[in-house]
Amino acid sequence: MEGFVRAQADEEYKGDFTKIMPILIHGDAAVAGQGIVYEVTQMAKLAGYQTGGTVHFVINNQIGFTTDFEDARSSIYCSDVAKIVDAPIFHVNGDDPEAVIFCAKLAVEFREKFNRDVFIDMVCYRRYGHNEADEPKFTQPTMYNIIEKHQNPREIYKELLIKRGDVDAELAQRMDTEFKKQLQDRLDRVKQKAEIPYKPLRLDLDWAELRFSEPEDFEKSPETGVSAEVLQTIGKALVKTPEGFKPLKQIDKLLKDRQTMITDTKQVNWGTAELLAYGSLLLDGKPVRLSGQDVQRGTFSHRHAVLHDSETNESYSSLDFIQDGQQKFQVYNSLLSEYGVLGFEYGYAMANPHALVIWEAQFGDFSNGAQLIIDQFIAAGESKWGIQNGVTLLLPTATRVRGQSTPTPVLSGIYSYMPTIIWWWLTLVRQPICSISCVVS
């Protein structure tokens, strides 16, 4: 969801985060126990992942399925993860609806003014256990003896309104009846598969323009090349630096090697070919976003998409200066996270079908840390929810380096997805960036 919001802000609102706001709803056990919460919260102030502040709403029913909070966390409060970014936390009684609304309004105002995360910890209870068929007294008998005798929030608030003279008993009963009727009407419409009113976003319409693949799409490769003139234009940008920019001598040599490859030998290495391909998309008006650990330089020091002045540390992204009016190259070194970052990029790609959105694992086997996203979303999203997504994974591999597990990714899991992944990729009828041959030895 955070990635989706970031993409919407980038494309729809030109980076204006006051136009869109992410809201995450957590359970108390999950917000304290799930590592993804920490990863996403740690993104809050990072240039590549900030969304102008997230409102985190914690429904704190004080139990995780059957686990008491004493066994579910070491912290005093379930919301203490907020302290890592100094986000304010509003603890509020769920039996007091007006206090909950006050906290919600305050949280939104804080987020809008300071563009920072904020947490609401609504302390409440669940009346029927983990689900309506569950028996909570198996594990919390004394607590549920109290809950049985406790009025629900609606009744408490209704009595307060009547006591204050805000409503009479007849009006309160009529409002209750009308609300239940609205719920039943909506349920009946859903059961009849009636079309629910929905105003599509512009990006929804962009997805609708794409079609699923047909067998004949696999019969021959599409034309994906660009003209030599375009490559020369991009190449010139890849070998120049601003006036007064002082690169390291190794970078100076790299730029001279690029110049030789582009203008003389006409044979380029992987890093140069990759940047040429990204540049061709940027000139075509297509966004390109690349994130992951150390992607600006590249784990194997092959990319150098962002250069640094050796004296001032000032950075320079060559692909941002191909020609006027082009798309900017979004390349971000990520926090040391796989699960959270790939999830973010999946959401970003979901919101923008015409963007090339890439997550690169620092080493190929680091994709293991993001396996939940690969299994539950990338490989299964279309069959489970009927949605398409163009997120791309780069899994760089090296030999004879850094220990037993680092040299190669665990390919068996990736291979098992290949029919799905190849089919899924080709369902997105778009202009590919280039043809790539891969040899695994």
Parallel, antiparallel, or unpaired for β 63-64 and 67-68? antiparallel
Half-sphere exposure for 292 (CA within 13 Å, toward CB): 26
Mean pLDDT in residue range 310-324? 96
Count CB atoms within 10 A of the CB of residue 226.
19
Torsion of CA 4, 7, 13, 16, to 10 degrees: 90
Could you give the CA distance from residue 367 to residue 371 in angstroms, rounded to a whole number?
Answer: 6
pLDDT of 16 > 60? The answer is yes
Query: Quick one: pLDDT at residue 404?
Result: 54
User: Which domains, from first to last, does the chain contain?
Assistant: 2-150 (3.40.50.970), 228-427 (3.40.50.12470)
Report the chain's mean pLDDT, rounded to a whole number. Answer: 88
Query: Quick one: pLDDT at residue 367?
Result: 85
Query: Quick one: pLDDT at residue 399?
Result: 54
Query: Quick one: pLDDT at residue 193?
Result: 79
Query: Torsions phi, psi of 241, nearest 5?
Result: -130, 160
Query: Quick one: pLDDT at residue 220?
Result: 87
Paired tokens of 427 = 């369902």
Is the Cβ–Cβ distance between 121 and 83 less than 8 Å?
no
Percent of the chain with pLDDT over 90: 73
Q: List strands edge to edge, sheet with 118-123.
A: 23-27, 55-60, 118-123, 89-93
Tokens 């109290």 belong to which residue?
146
Could you give the CA distance from residue 94 to residue 104 in angstroms, rounded to a whole number?
Answer: 12
Q: Residues 105, 109, 115, CA angle at the centre, nearest 5°?
A: 135
Q: Which residue has the higher pLDDT, 314 or 223?
A: 314
User: Lowest-pLDDT range, 138-152, 269-283, 386-400?
Assistant: 386-400
Tokens 């790609």 belong to which residue?
349
Query: Quick one: pLDDT at residue 129?
Result: 84
Paired tokens of 39 = 């990863």
Query: Quick one: pLDDT at residue 398?
Result: 56
Query: Quick one: pLDDT at residue 226?
Result: 92
pLDDT of 143 > 90? The answer is yes
Query: Quick one: pLDDT at residue 436?
Result: 34
Could you give the CA distance from residue 80 to residue 86 in angstroms, rounded to a whole number?
Answer: 10
Could you give the CA distance from residue 81 to residue 32 in angstroms, rounded to a whole number?
Answer: 7
Tokens 């686990």 belong to which residue?
67
Parallel, antiparallel, or unpaired for β 118-123 and 55-60? parallel
Cβ contacts of 321 within 8 Å, gap of 6 or more: 237, 240
Is the Cβ–Cβ distance between 263 and 306 less than 8 Å?
no
User: Lowest-pLDDT range, 5-14, 209-218, 243-252?
Assistant: 209-218
Could you give the CA distance from residue 397 to residue 155 in angstroms, rounded to a whole number?
Answer: 62
Torsion of CA 215, 220, 224, 226, to 10 degrees: -150
According to DSSP H, which parts of 54-211 are helical? 69-72, 97-114, 141-148, 153-164, 169-191, 202-208
